[in-house]
Amino acid sequence: MMKKLALVLVLGLSTMACRAQVKVQAASAPAPAPAPAPAPAPAPEPKAGEQLTLPEQIEFETNEARIKQTPKTLATLESLADTMKKHPNITKLRVEGHTDNVGKTKANEKLSKARAEAVAKWLSQHDVAEARIVTLGFGAKRPLVANDSPDHRAQNRRTEYYVEELDGKKVDPAKVASGTSTGGKTAN
């Protein structure tokens, strides 16, 4: 009898010790994927006479019309070329060159024109038809700010871009903005 009791006790204890609890849970449905981000709004259509704005200014070597091959400048040029490719209705883009007032007037006019032509050449080498681009050089005639500090002079050294013709229709020159802080128009 003792053997039976001991056997029952051993079996009972081993059964209790070996009891494993298993919890089974139903798999929950995976979380839904987040909604895709909305597409960016399309760029507005260019308007006759308006200035095209770019993320940065194109940089040139000092006193030269050679475009600096910096990532920032190349990205800006690519942005301008992409705009022209996306908008074939811009049949004439005016590229304006501007300088600060350091140096001789004639030299600045020549330099500003050469810089505008360098941008036009770059565009033509990147699938923008030369016939769609006109260039002008204004030298220091149209400053954005007074040429009274290095920072101000740097702001005045720039190229600007204006829609001069849309779908083959020339824009009235009085309606084309141009290279000053007042868009080429006199303030009242």
- Residue 67, helix vs strand vs coil: strand
Amino acid identity of residue 23, one-letter, is: K
Positions of E strands within the chain: 51-52, 90-98, 133-137, 158-166, 169-170
Query: 72 lies in a domain?
Result: yes
Name the pLDDT band for 183 (thresholds 50, 70, 90): very low
Give the residue, 45 or 52, on which the prediction is more confident: 52
Tell me, rounded to whole angstroms, the distance of Cα 47 from its chain centroid: 19
d(CA 171, CA 49): 6
33 found inside a domain? no
Determine the residue type at 77. Answer: L
Q: How confident is the model at residue 98 (pLDDT cuts 50, 70, 90)?
A: very high
Is 0.85 surpassed by the pTM of this model? no
Residue 7 has pLDDT above 60, yes or no: no
Contact 163/52 with Cβ under 8 angstroms? yes
Whether 22 maps to a domain, the answer reads no
Assigned token pair, 76: 């800006």
pLDDT averaged over every residue in the chain: 82
For the stretch 141-150, pLDDT in tens is 999 999 999 9
- Domain membership of residue 4 (yes or no) is no
In DSSP notation, 104-138 reads -HHHHHHHHHHHHHHHHHHHHTTT--GGGEEEEE-
Is 32 within a domain? Answer: no
CATH code where residue 89 lies:
3.30.1330.60
Q: Does 3 reside within a domain?
A: no
Structural domain of 89: 51-175
The count of other CB atoms within 10 Å of the CB of residue 129 is 11
Domain count, the chain: 1
Please indicate, yes or no, if residue 171 is contained in any of the structural domains: yes
Q: What pLDDT shows up at residue 180? A: 45
**For residues 70 and 28, what is the distance between their CA atoms, to the nearest angstrom?**
53
What does the alpha-carbon distance between residue 45 and residue 90 come to, in Å, rounded to a whole number? 10
Position 162 in a domain: yes
pLDDT digits (tens, 9 = 90+) for 121-157: 999 999 999 999 999 999 999 999 999 999 999 999 9
Q: Which two tokens stand for residue 32?
A: 């839904």
At 80, phi and psi to the nearest 5? -65, -45
Q: What confidence tier does 24 reach under pLDDT thresholds 50, 70, 90?
A: low
Tokens of 36: 């895709």
Residue 132's CB is within 10 A of a number of other CB atoms, namely 17
